[in-house]
Chains A and B, each alone.
Chain A
Amino acid sequence: MRHGGVTKFSFQNLFGPIIIISALTFFVGRTSASLQLITQFTLCYFMMVLALQVFVGNSGVLSFGHGSFALIGSYISGMLTAPINIKGHALAMNQLWQALVPLHTNIYLALLISAIVSALFAALTGSLLMRLSGLSAGIATFALLGVTYNVFFNNKRIGPGSQALPAVPTISNTYILLLLAVLAIIIVYLFNISHTGRTLRATREDAMAAPALGINIYKVRLIAFTLSGFLAGLSGGMYVHVAGTFQVQDYYLEFTFLTLSMLIVGGSASLWGALLGTIVISAIGQLLLMMEQDLPIFGIHVHIPLGSRAVIIAVAFVAMLLWRSSGIVNGKEFAIPAFWRK
């Protein structure tokens, strides 16, 4: 997790990932309807991994709490866009606080509101949590996730509780999601090369020397945490408009570990690592799923027994960590391989 990260603006560092994500979305998304849906979910996960990269990658502090920002983003965007008669009459919503029923807006405004509210929530909780570091910070962020999940899972006055909020309108155009992802890449890249981003990485490298140089660890971490909360909230909002339903369970342990492992496998210290990790984990999962269902992959049938997919994914994850514990890209940003440049 240590070392790495860019300091100077470079076109290939920024546009390499943008071109790759656009090309992949374009080609994979066009092959079939099911792959298009997978692409859409992957773009949502990527947004979450970017959010984690901003905070976890730059500060070196592990956060399990980002699921709560995604949950809140998803909840707000879902509740603001679900049809009013569903909120008023669906069985899952019969205990809903009536003042929440008439609130309604369009998808894009809802996404913006959800990201902003998540950022505010992150700033509020971060102002307390960022005093901690190391394992205490990890556990404290986990406690935050626990509180948010427990409240939303049980309180049927504010939402669907343990059930699902149905009929959330979906974004059927993959390119809108892609556009959001590209905007996020640009924001994260600019943050990473900014003064704050660089100082934050300095605190990651040496928590004793950084304050000696006049860096306020609390302040830079809080800024990153807030930005990270904004992106996590946006990712939750995107997810709810791809899934078409809001369910609290979607943003708990499994979501947290999946997105964290995407970040760590790719290499948490760089944006390129975040993208590569998301692509690799999603692609392995998808290929294994196709093998399990005995579908052809480029015309070749490879069959694996039903249920072995989950074992293989987990084993692959551990093997990758053993192979390269600082991630596939090892802290480097995207660069065109030397033999192409001549």
Chain B
Amino acid sequence: MIQSILDAISLGGLYSLAALGLGLVFGVMRLVNFAHGELITIAAYTLVLTTQFPLLLSLVLTICVTAFVALIMEFAIYRRLRGVNPAIMLVASFGLSTVLQRIYEFTFGALPKSAVVAPSLSGVVKFSGLSITISSLITIVLAVVILLAMGYLVERTSLGLQLRAASADFRTARLLGVRSNRLISSAFVLSGVLASFVAFILVIQNPVVNPYYGLNITILALVGIVIGGISSLRGAALGGFIVGVILSGLNTVLGNGRVYSYTWLFITVLIILLVRPGGLLSKGSELERV
């Protein structure tokens, strides 16, 4: 029972990190970056392929590689699509996501790569008769630390202030002296850093990396940011958390019927959207132009 609750919280934490990565980029440029999943994938590949190095070095290397790929995305593709209809940008990001999947398939092969990352972190601790997996504890700790760090960054630093201002009204923020290129690039770098941590947690739980590794979590995080309220970072994190908790809870409750957990999850999502179209944290009924 306690293990199930911990699992739910850790999955929620993981999804909220992924959702935050998406939400950061959406805030500054109204782009739903579906290719965020491929950032998670490249991070996971880097982690798995650098296991011969010490863990910390491997992690730093991963963050650098992922942030670099995120920057390339922004320079090569998204910078040229600024101001285009969000729906077109979303579809372009699908295209980019396919491009990267194919490139990974071409470079790393279609067969999965696997290696044990951080063996000390997988296993079980006994706790007065309860046995709890270490990975769920690590996930919760890591998620809390990163969410707090992000909270500090967004609420207390100048960059965070600019990010919030740009999310609220990009044009006015620019007029007031926010440098748009630098801000958008920073948002991409941050989303790359978040993707690295998501990949780190994922790889501890499942070290078998294939070209589609980050796809599933991105879809669910995307659902999360929409039900949480896409216009705020807090909403994104909350939505991701809710999706993770619901999914994990369904897997526990449904037992043998867990193959249908996605059905119930998506039905819940539909109900939330119908009741609150702007997301849980939206303020009243702001009419969004299609």
- In this assembly, does B106 line the interface, its C-beta being within 8 Å of a C-beta of chain A? yes
Distance of A64 Cα from B92 Cα, bound (Å): 14
B55 at the binding interface (Cβ < 8 Å): no
Q: When chains A and B are docked, how far (Å) is the Cα of A146 from the Cα of B222?
A: 13
One of B94, B265, B277, B279 near A261 (C-beta < 8 A)? B94
A311-B277 contact, Cβ under 8 Å, with A2-B85, A140-B270: no
- Which residue of A129, A146, A207, A208 contacts B262 across the interface (Cβ within 8 Å)? A146
Flag B226-239 by CB within 8 Å of A: 1 or 0 each.
Answer: 11001000000000
The one of A138, A147, A311 that contacts B267, using a Cβ cutoff of 8 Å: A147
Task: Tell me the minimal C-beta distance from B80 to chain A in angstroms.
Answer: 5
Q: How many residues on chain A are close to B (CB under 8 Å)? A: 47
Contacting residue for A321 out of B91, B98, B270, B278, CB 8 A: B91
In the complex, which residue of chain B has the Cβ closest to the Cβ of A320? B95
Contacts of A150 in B (CB 8 A): 259-260, 262-263, 266
Beta-carbon contact of B95 and A204 below 8 Å: no
Across chains A and B, the number of contacting residue pairs, with CB separation under 8 Å, is 134
Tell me if B273 and A139 are in contact (CB < 8 A).
yes
Closest to A140 in B: B273
Interface string of A144-157 (1 = CB under 8 A from B): 10110011001000
A134 CB–B CB distance under 8 Å: yes
Q: A59-B290, A257-B98 are in contact. Are A321 and B230 (CB under 8 A)?
A: no
Question: Which chain B residues border A128 with CB–CB below 8 Å?
Answer: 270, 274
A145 to chain B, nearest CB (A): 9
Query: In the complex, which residues 207-240 of chain A have their Cβ closer than 8 Å to any Cβ of chain B?
Result: 207-208
A207 adjacent to B266 (CB under 8 Å):
no
Min distance, Cβ A62 to any Cβ of chain B, angstroms: 5
Chain A residue contacts of B101, Cβ below 8 A = 314
A1 interface residue, CB < 8 Å from B? yes
* Cβ-based interface call for A131 (8 A): yes
Q: What is the distance, in angstroms, from B98's C-beta to the closest C-beta of chain A?
A: 4
CB-defined interface of B255-287 with A at 8 Å, one 1/0 digit per residue? 000011011011101100110011100000001
Most B Cβ at <10 Å: residue of A135, A136, A207: A135
Closest to B83 in A: A325
Contact in complex: A204, B290 (CB < 8 Å): yes
Q: Does A15 contact B (CB under 8 A)?
A: no
Instruction: Please tell me if the beta carbons of B230 and A144 are within 8 angstroms of each other in the complex.
Output: no
Query: Within the complex, what minimum Cβ distance (angstroms) separates B214 from chain A?
Result: 14
Q: Which of B95, B262, B290 contacts A133 (CB 8 A)?
A: B290
Given known A143-B266, A207-B289, contact A261–B91 (CB-CB < 8 A)? yes
Q: Which residues of A contact B (CB under 8 A)?
A: 1-2, 59-62, 128-129, 131-140, 142-144, 146-147, 150-151, 154, 203-204, 206-208, 257, 260-261, 264, 307-308, 310-311, 314-315, 317-318, 321-322, 325-326
Interface, chain B (partner A; CB < 8 A): 32, 77, 80-81, 84-88, 90-92, 94-96, 98-99, 101-103, 105-106, 219, 222-223, 226-227, 230, 259-260, 262-263, 265-267, 269-270, 273-274, 277-279, 287-290
| 27 A-B interface contacts by CB (under 8 A) | A59-B290, A60-B290, A61-B290, A62-B87, A133-B277, A134-B86, A134-B290, A135-B86, A136-B273, A136-B278, A138-B90, A142-B223, A150-B263, A154-B259, A207-B287, A257-B98, A260-B94, A261-B94, A261-B95, A307-B105, A310-B98, A311-B106, A314-B99, A318-B96, A321-B91, A325-B85, A326-B88
